[in-house]
A and B are shown apart, each in its own frame.
Chain A
Amino acid sequence: MTRMAGVGAAALLTLSACSSSGDSSAADPASSGSGSASAGQLSGTVTVFAAASLTESFTTLGEEFEKAHPGTKVTFNFGGSDSLAAGINSGAPADVFAAASTKTMKLVTDEGAASGEPVTFVRNQLEIATLPGNPDKIASLKDLAGPDLKVVLCDKEVPCGAATQKVLDATGLKVTPVSYEQDVKGALTKVELKEADASLVYKTDVHAAGDKVEGVEFPEAAEAVNDYPIALLKDAPNAAAAKAFIALVRSDTGRKVLSEAGFLTP
């Protein structure tokens, strides 16, 4: 963590000079007039509603942001993208929305609650999580269909389960799990606790679990890649700082922090 923060702080020095002019205009075409908002002028609180899977990386980026812009404060509301979108649509005071799928972002843009077009800033895809050392020698998606293997999958009602279903449908593979978990963390925990031999979770979850699970990449994961869009919200109470935060997320520093968390850059 400290290592990451150090790298980030250095990169930020260069970032703050170009953030508001370059990147943020792509995130929000209407922002061209406010390109003059430099680091020194930003103040107040930026409220960011972000998908739960962004918790670690966005918290790091929030700290970087506060360091680069003294006087600002970034507060996060991490949660399921669906419920965050519902919150925004019912008037929750937020500046930025970062969703885990274009579908959930669309809930907000359809209501006209976003300012400008959302941009995809990272992507996430599934990976096999298995026991440390891979004792069952799982090398491919096919191996999950093995009869003696205890596999847990996300329930098809939740996003990771929908992605799983998409991958399995595309490959025509039939995997019979011992359980359909209610969210991706549930699927991961069952492997962490060694109750299941393998599960399909996001790459970032495998990464976050550290050495408690071993990740096995499989090419079929490309069938269901999740785009993560980010958008400035129309009723943002602190639009200037919000734009700068979006710019940070999309900057090289942001990419670095996010890819270290296991995200793919678009």
Chain B
Amino acid sequence: MTPEERTAAPPAPRKRSPRAGTWAVGGRGVPLPLLLPALLGLAFLLVPLLALLVRAPWSGLPEQLTSAGVWQALRLSLICATAATAVSLVIGVPLAWVLARVEFPGRGLVRALVTLPLVLPPVVGGVALLMALGRNGIVGRWLDSWFGVTLPFTTAGVVLAEAFVAMPFLVISVEGTLRAADRRFEEAAATLGASRFTAFRRVTLPLIAPGIAAGAVLAWARALGEFGATITFAGNFPGRTQTMPLAVYLALQSDPEAAIALSLVLLTVSVAVLAGLRDRWMTAS
């Protein structure tokens, strides 16, 4: 908040919070050409969610939600999204560190490639995973013949598909935090004799923890909602690879009310988790 804005805000709303203060000033706080599109944007994002609540089959809801299939799908979704986030943390944070701290030729290109799954249609990601890790894929065929491991149609396949789509969110978030972090702390650690790895572990990691947390939440949320790559790579089998988004999509084919009920569950879980991690989220951004 700039000093100019502070003076513009009348004293009364300023007592509540700085944000509320600017809101109250019609003329100088929020110009109309910005306010109107902003409100439209807000409505655009919230009205569909509201519609879900309005059209929800509330009377039949307990019945819809107590079916074993719903909990099976929800449980699988939560397990897989969490596992995918764990995988992303284990390999994504080191990747972010390398991208932020190590000078090497083609770094910009590598960074762009890492973010590719963000813009790739998830179904394409799923096909790409099949080409790489499928039973007949360039890596997968060796996994099959050496270890007898086939990943498609397994829960592990769901985790991989979700991690593939979600990890870039984590890498971008962590890398951004690393770049913004003060490097003098690491340099100080180095002058005191710490190895680069020790400095990473004892200095850098605690320093960027909020960024990691924010990235992990983003990745988790993305993994939870993942549909295209999952159904393409891991297929759809109740209890094994059928996550909530898959259950929602298939329910929609014949029973829209069930689909809405399932969507509500997913919405509730997402809101609960994002709300629970709100404070960490705010400090990071």
Contact = CB atoms under 8 A, between A and B. Distances in A.
B237 interface: yes
Interface residues of B, number: 22
B136 A193 contact: yes
Given A179-B235, A181-B235, A186-B231, A195 B249 contact: no
B236 A155 contact: yes
B136 A182 contact: no
A158 B153 CA distance: 20
A190 B130 CA distance: 9
Nearest to B252: A157
B283 interface: no
A180 interface: yes
Nearest to A177: B237
Interface residues of A, number: 18
A194 B136 contact: yes
Interface in A142-176: 150, 152, 155, 157-158
Contact of A179 (B130, B135, B153): B153
Contact of A157 (B134, B234, B235, B250): B250
B134 A193 contact: yes
Given A158-B253, A179-B241, A195-B130, A190 B235 contact: yes
A178 B237 contact: yes
B237 A182 contact: no
Q: Which of B153, B234, B242, B246 has the most C-beta atoms of chain A within 10 angstroms of its own C-beta?
A: B153
A182 B249 contact: yes
A155 B135 CA distance: 22
Interface in B124-148: 130, 134-136
Contacts of B254: 157
Contacts of A196: 153
Interface string B248-261: 01110111000000
A182 B153 contact: no
B135 A182 contact: no
